[in-house]
Amino acid sequence: MDEPYAELRRNMVERQLLPRGIRDGAVIAAMAKIQRELFLDEGARQNSYVDGPLPIGCGQTISQPYIVAYMTELLGLAGGEKVLEIGSGSGYQTAVLAEIAAKVYSVELIPELSHSASGLLLGRLNYQNVFFKIGRGQDGWPEYALYDRIILTAAPAEFPHKLFDQLGEDGIAVAPVGVDSQRLVRYVKQNNRIHADELIGVIFVPLV
């Protein structure tokens, strides 16, 4: 049965992701599949596929689809990776990661958001490879380190050093960084050193 959002979702992929250069087939497939409307409150659903961020309650936002796609593509996932995500929020980005990576460990500060994201992903959508924790993202999730990839969806003033410790060799981390003006930064860990690449300007809620 076709659902009412299928066409909006196809349009999102064709008009927002492909023309802006998203090329990773696994990212495109995940975003063509995941029902973004499930991650929003009923009142906001008709806007599920608009080309921008949307409120998800508790003063937080779900990122613009293109930004989710771009950050996921920057992680360069081949499929076998263990990923640490900071800022579960609605769980939409978590679901995109879970479609592609082997395991996703997602940390969220606000219990209400963590509970609704885990209810949706583990209950309704039945993902078997996602694990949720309520806590301070700055501390990461040391029990399951090292991670192959780390993604932050809230912006710290500087990348938290404990997270670098939890990133494995040849690991990649992607984060919005900055206070007044934020940039997306891609970090690569090689020979125990971090190489940073500053990319586009972005606007994320702060990592608090």
Catalytic sites, residue numbers: 63
Q: Which of 65, 87, 140, 178 binds ligand SAH (CB under 6 A)?
A: 87
Query: Least distance in Å: CB of 196 to ligand SAH?
Result: 21
Residue-wise burial string across 101-114, b where 16 or more C-beta atoms lie within 10 A, e elsewhere: bebbbbbbbbeebb
Q: Which of 63, 72, 166, 182 binds ligand SAH (CB under 6 A)?
A: 63
Rounded Cα distance, 53 and 73, in Å: 18
155: DSSP letter: B
Q: Which of 16, 48, 72, 90 binds ligand SAH (CB under 6 A)?
A: 90
Rounded Cα distance, 97 and 83, in Å: 8
Rounded Cα distance, 74 and 76, in Å: 5
Residue nearer to ligand SAH on the CB measure, 170 or 175? 175
CB 202 within 8 A of CB 180: no
Closest by Cα among 173, 157, 149, 150 to 206: 157
Site membership for ligand SAH, residue 86 (CB under 6 A): yes
Q: Which of 37, 69, 75, 137 binds ligand SAH (CB under 6 A)?
A: 137
Q: Contact region for ligand SAH (CB under 6 A) — 20-28, 75-83, 89-97, 161-169?
A: 89-97
Draw the binding track, 100-119, toward ligand SAH (x: CB under 6 A; -: no contact).
Answer: -------xxxx--x------
Rounded Cα distance, 122 and 131, in Å: 9
Closest by Cα among 56, 107, 101 to 86: 107
Q: Contact region for ligand SAH (CB under 6 A) — 13-21, 41-49, 133-141, 192-200?
A: 133-141
Site membership for ligand SAH, residue 30 (CB under 6 A): no
| Token pair for 131 | 């694990």
Q: Which of 136, 162, 183, 186 binds ligand SAH (CB under 6 A)?
A: 136
Query: Least distance in Å: CB of 72 to ligand SAH?
Result: 11
Return the CA Rg of the chain: 16
Residue nearer to ligand SAH on the CB measure, 95 or 172? 95
Q: Which of 22, 75, 83, 154 binds ligand SAH (CB under 6 A)?
A: 154
Site membership for ligand SAH, residue 166 (CB under 6 A): no
